[in-house]
Amino acid sequence: RAPCCERVGLNKGQWTPQEDKILITYIQTYGHGNWRALPEKAGLSRCGKSCRLRWTNYLNPGIKRGNFTKEEEDTIINLQQILGNRWSAIAAMLPGRTDNEIKNVWHTHLKKKLNPNQILQSSKRKIESRDNRSNSVIEFSSSSASESCSDFSSPSTESSSNVSERDNSNASRNDESTCDNGVEEIEESFWTEILCVNGCDSPLMEVDSSKNEDLSFWLRIF
DNA sequence: AAGTGCTCCAACCGCAGAATG
DNA sequence: TCATTCTGCGGTTGGAGCACT
């Protein structure tokens, strides 16, 4: 199968402001339509995949910029416990946030909070010195993370390190074993809580009905 | 002030599933 | 039904910027 960017000479790497402007103007005028054909029509030396990524992760006006709130981080942690690394499904619960952004936040912040023992000694020292300067983060990791786990009867009994042992490396196993005890015991109210936290009438929820179907899938399982 | 190491995030890559002919 | 193309997803990487020594 031919690679995505079979054309030689396509731009790669960071997008320039000019490229951003061209992409925004084109999509706002014509819509994205066929991503593969878009770059040529718009006059961009990029592959369609790169254009789609740039739009969905950065240029889309519906994207919420800035730091994640405590509630958002809570939601990510909760959903990661259940869904594993299904970032797109998690993103569907967080209006305005992209799967890529959530994935980055998970790998750079939240994963460490759940399992600080995994941090290398050298890194650990640095992080601690940073966190001492920003106590809010530390406070969240010690209180909020455990609070969020208390939403589940089974996982809440585990230590934070045990919980995180099930995270990334076992994500696929989580997907396969949706009838695991831990998942089975999750109360249905969890979902309504999550939805209410983020607003049932959020724009993304309305726009992307397929995401709701994804939610329905999990509701059926429970 | 300079060098080194680390963090974070935007972007890329490859794969799988959906859509299409 | 099969082959091909397109789209979306998740893992991974590169490099800019920051912190520390």
- In tens digits, chain A (222 residues) has pLDDT values of 344 555 556 788 889 999 999 999 999 888 888 888 898 889 888 988 899 999 998 898 888 888 888 888 889 988 988 888 899 999 988 888 999 999 999 988 887 777 655 444 333 333 333 333 333 333 333 333 333 333 333 333 333 333 333 333 333 333 333 333 333 344 444 444 444 444 444 433 433 444 444 444 444 444
Closest C1' nucleotide to A210's CA: C8
Q: What is the pLDDT of residue A100?
A: 92
> Looking at strand B, which nucleotides approach a protein CB closer than 7 A?
5-15
Protein-to-nucleotide distance from the CA of A125 to the C1' of C20, whole angstroms: 11
Protein-to-nucleotide distance from the CA of A124 to the C1' of B19, whole angstroms: 48
What is the C-alpha to C-alpha distance for residues A184 and A204, in angstroms, rounded to an integer?
A: 28
Q: Which residues of A159-188 are buried (b: 16+ CB within 10 A; e: fewer)?
A: ebeebbebbeeeeeebeeeeeeebbeebee
Closest C1' nucleotide to A120's CA: B6
Domain boundaries, chain A: 17-59, 70-221
| CATH architecture label of A17-59 | Orthogonal Bundle (1.10)
**What six digits make up the tokens of A163?**
């919980």
